[in-house]
Amino acid sequence: RGGAWIYAAGVLAAFGWKRDVWVCDSFAGLPKPKLAEESGGSWHIHNDFLAIPKHEVEDNFRLFHLLQDNIRFVEGFFENTLPNVPVKQIAVLRCDGDMYQSTMDILVNLYPKVSPGGIVIIDDFGVIECRHAVKDYLEKILENPLITEFGAKNDAAYWRK
């Protein structure tokens, strides 16, 4: 429904910071699992609830007077869209992939663009597949950041690059 993006845009607006907010989402729910790591995943069967049309998210931005020219929408599954997102530098990368491959798609395509000192937030760190994607990616690039888990059940995490 756009809540986290709206919150980010609101913080930027409150401080008068003119930064782009890239809203990358399928707006169609989750893809069917393709990997063995996700063989138990069934979130895609809830796409009737998870899929929120882009126009509805835009309407929610409008409710808060935050649908400005710095809000950039990228529609489609991450594997298809993120390799072509024309962003050069990222200060805060918030990952909400829900699945191993979606989380890996985010990290492979966008983590290299996170500025030194930038923040990475993994919304679904409590989901074992997402946790494994983060671990696998960081091992592959030989980084071992201090990951801080947070949330009611330590279901999210962040680190500074």
pLDDT score of 71: 95
Asked if the model's pLDDT at residue 115 lies above 60, the reply is yes
Asked if the model's pLDDT at residue 43 lies above 70, the reply is no
Token reading at 130:
């997402």
pLDDT band of residue 37 (cuts 50, 70, 90) is low
d(CA 134, CA 128): 10
Asked if the model's pLDDT at residue 42 lies above 60, the reply is no
- 47-65 pLDDT, tens digit each: 555 678 999 999 999 999 9
pLDDT score of 153: 86
- What's the start-to-end Cα distance of the chain, in Å? 28
Closest CA to 157 of 119, 129, 101, 116: 119
Residue at token pair 């962003």: 87
pLDDT band of residue 108 (cuts 50, 70, 90) is very high
How far is C-alpha 132 from the chain's CA centre?
A: 16
Q: What is the mean pLDDT of residues 83-104?
A: 94
- Residue 71 gets the label, from left (phi > 0), alpha (psi -120 to 50) or beta, of beta
Asked if the model's pLDDT at residue 84 lies above 90, the reply is yes
Provide CB contacts within 8 A for 109, sequence distance 6+: 78, 82, 83, 85
Task: Mark 3-37 as b/e (b = at least 16 C-beta within 10 Å).
Answer: eebbebbeebbeeeeeeebbbbbbbebbbebeeeb
Asked if the model's pLDDT at residue 36 lies above 80, the reply is no
The HSE-up count of residue 29 (CA atoms within 13 Å, CB side) is 13
The greatest distance separating any two alpha carbons of the chain, rounded to the nearest whole angstrom, comes to: 46
pLDDT score of 154: 85
